[in-house]
A and B are shown apart, each in its own frame.
Chain A
């Protein structure tokens, strides 16, 4: 931290010690009060829409509304311990959703990170014509809301409307974008289309900040453009790569909007296709709050564990690189 809100302590003359001390203390108190005022609105929000909800979800996951007897009489909320967790973790539809999202992440994240990085490196190489226009074109889908992106692609996947399927048909290829094996790649494509340009701009901004002398030194040492890009530039933007991978992962684990919309047209997507859809289905279709809460906590722990894994993995790699 570079902040220096406190003056270095000098030994004051004995007879001025008390007033100077008091002045300093009032100044400090005033600063703390101001700090409190500036921070309070945010921390009120943090408490109301983050801490209390996480607490509530955890609480709900350990309790259940039990109806006594034949369903007559008042409902009671009873402690059920880990019963809801056992129900979630042995539910094949939940585990299936978790597997779907894991597969989705395995396809999507490497494609996204390498795709955006390669495009940024190409744009940074200085060879591309109309660079500013290319960037703008690539970035455009970021301005398209997720649900609209899903709508556009749903229509492009729908026989009869889609010019893409039309083109394939003319070449005598029948393709069903919403079939058993194609529906997940189709969702990956929507997400990739939406976010590729945004992440490319993040990488490009980081590449622009690489000192030019470093690249010139590599060129003087005889490195070609490809070698410079992979061995010199890429390691220098590692921080951005980690950041992009993290955010992509966090968003990918919440997979909801695209399958929710595609499920209107594809029987391949059921109402518990992903963990987030499972939570929605449990809470608002089946009204089973403890099950939904337990699934939420599991998804939360899953997210935290994986993001922690990503940061650990990349920092260990960085350490290994440095010792080489």
Chain B
């Protein structure tokens, strides 16, 4: 970066100020709604509709937090655990499956390989909503509709992860290393598990994170598959509570507090794994 700074002619102060103002306003646009959520979570119901946003006279963050977990016999806690199960387990299994497949696409040769890869890419384009009805009918045929598996199995499917896995495999796993392992007499699968997977680490984390976000966001599939509220993820649960709020306003503060808590896991995941997903984005973008 410093190279460009020194070689570019100094832009006029006016241009510099405009650029900073545009970026500053954009950051305000993205940050203020989150800040509003944080402030609103500290308000009780009357204050939410009444007083100024910034007055802290009626600070009831902890009351709201208590109300949230007490509402309807602690449903929210159950939803939170469900979401974590769907997202963390699903992303872990799903990313391993996709990256293994992407690696195989990169390192092995067989007939019609590129056609098969084309099929994987085509799957990226297909809207979720198109698959929902047939998936529902298949799940009810198999007797797993309205169970954990009805949501868990479809979210494992991540064709974009295969695409990324192939790119990462090209970039991170040199063929010479594999040849050397073969000469040492390693079996193909042992070689994958012991040598290649370690080199694919950052890529695997990236795919995991993308899939974690997607599953945590998932709303349509659970809505179609689940009728038992005990199996709901947070997204669907808050949707249900929000529809109750228009009738009984005591739901407003808990929906807001619930939304705030639902944002935390992904922020945490992105912050902790920042080093990895940044490199992952570059690989996806430059290709």
B154 close to A49 (CB less than 8 A)? yes
In the complex, what residue of chain B is closest to A58 when comparing beta carbons?
Answer: B134
Q: How far is the CA of A160 from the CA of B132 in the complex (A)?
A: 37
**Nearest-CB distance from B100 to chain A (Å)?**
4
Shortest distance from the beta carbon of B108 to any chain A beta carbon, whole Å? 4
A50-B131, A125-B19 known; A225+B107 contact, CB < 8 A: no
B127 contacts partner chain A, Cβ-Cβ < 8 Å: yes
B-side binding surface: helix, strand, loop or mixed? helix
Q: Is B238 within 8 A of A147, CB to CB?
A: yes
Q: What A residues does B4 contact at CB under 8 A?
A: 126, 212, 215-216
Q: How far is the CB of B150 from chain A (nearest CB, A)?
A: 11
Query: How distant is B226 from chain A, measured CB to nearest CB, in Å?
Result: 12
Give CA–CA (A228, B15) in the complex, Å: 15
Once bound together, how far apart are the Cα atoms of A14 and B168, in whole Å? Answer: 42
With contacts A3-B109, A163-B36, A299-B130 taken as known, whether A143 is within 8 angstroms of B266 at the C-beta atoms is yes
Q: Which of B214-267 contact A (CB under 8 A)?
A: 216-217, 219-220, 223-224, 234-235, 238-239, 242-243, 246, 252, 255-256, 259, 262-263, 266-267
**Chain A hits for B175, CB < 8 A:** 2-4
For B142-164 the 0/1 string (1 means CB < 8 A from A) is 00000000000110110100100
- Does B180 make an interface contact (CB < 8 A)? no
Q: Is B11 an interface residue (CB 8 A)?
A: yes
Which single residue of chain A is at the shortest CB-CB distance from B101?
A42
Nearest chain A CB to B238's CB is how many angstroms away? 7
B22's nearest neighbour on chain A, judged by CB, is A122
B:37-93 near A, CB below 8 Å: 37, 40, 48-49, 53
Q: Closest residue of chain A to B1, judged by CB?
A: A126
Given contacts A148-B263, A264-B246, A284-B224, contact A127 B16 (CB under 8 A): yes
Question: Is A46 in contact with B127, judged by CB distance below 8 angstroms?
Answer: no
A300: CB under 8 A from chain B?
Answer: yes
Q: A62 near B: Cβ within 8 Å?
A: no
What per-residue 1/0 map shows which CB atoms of B85-126 lie under 8 Å from chain A? 000000000000110110111111110000000011001111
CB distance from B74 to the nearest CB of A (A): 20
Residues of chain A from 160 to 175 with CB closer than 8 A to chain B in the complex: 160-161, 163
Question: Given contacts A53-B134, A161-B49, is CB(A6)–CB(B109) below 8 Å?
Answer: yes
Contact among A122, A137, A163, A279 for B31, CB-based, below 8 A: A137
| A219 CB-CB contact with B under 8 Å | yes
Are B36 and A264 in touch, CB under 8 angstroms?
Answer: no
A5-B107, A119-B23, A264-B243 given; A279·B219 CB < 8 A: no
- A303 x B243 contact (CB < 8 A): no
Residues of B within 8 A of A53 (CB): 130-131, 134-135, 138
A257 to B235, CA, bound (A): 10
Q: Which A residues lie at the B interface, using CB under 8 A?
A: 1-6, 30-35, 37-39, 41-43, 45-46, 48-50, 52-57, 60, 118-119, 122-123, 125-129, 134, 137-148, 151-156, 160-161, 163, 193, 196-197, 201-203, 205-206, 208-209, 212, 215-216, 219, 224-225, 228, 239-240, 243, 250, 253-254, 256-257, 260-261, 264-265, 275-276, 279-280, 283-284, 289, 292-293, 296-297, 299-300, 303-304, 307
A130 to chain B, nearest CB (A): 9
**A253 to B157 Cα, complex, angstroms:** 20
Whole-angstrom distance between the Cβ of B203 and the nearest chain A Cβ: 15
Q: What is the CB-to-nearest-CB distance from A243 to chain B, in angstroms, rounded to a whole number?
A: 7
Specify the main secondary structure of chain A where it touches its partner.
helix
Q: In the complex, what residues of B have CB within 8 A of residue A279's CB? A: 129-130, 132-133
Q: Could you tell me if B19 and A39 are in contact, using CB atoms closer than 8 angstroms?
A: no
**B259 proximity list for chain A (CB < 8 A):** 148, 151-152
Interface-central residue, A46, A156, A289, A303, by most chain B CB under 10 Å: A46
- The reply to whether B19 and A128 form a contact with Cβ atoms under 8 Å apart is yes
State which of A134, A156, A264 has its C-beta within 8 Å of the C-beta of B33: A156
Residue in B closest to A190 when the chains form the complex, CB atoms: B33
- Residues in chain B near residue A6, CB distance under 8 A: 109
Tell me how far the C-beta of A240 lies from the nearest C-beta in chain B, rounded to whole angstroms: 5
CA distance A269 to B134 in the complex (A): 26
Q: Is B201 part of the binding interface, using a Cβ–Cβ cutoff of 8 Å?
A: no
In the complex, the answer to whether B266 meets A126 with C-beta atoms within 8 Å is: no
Q: Is the CB of A253 within 8 A of B127?
A: yes
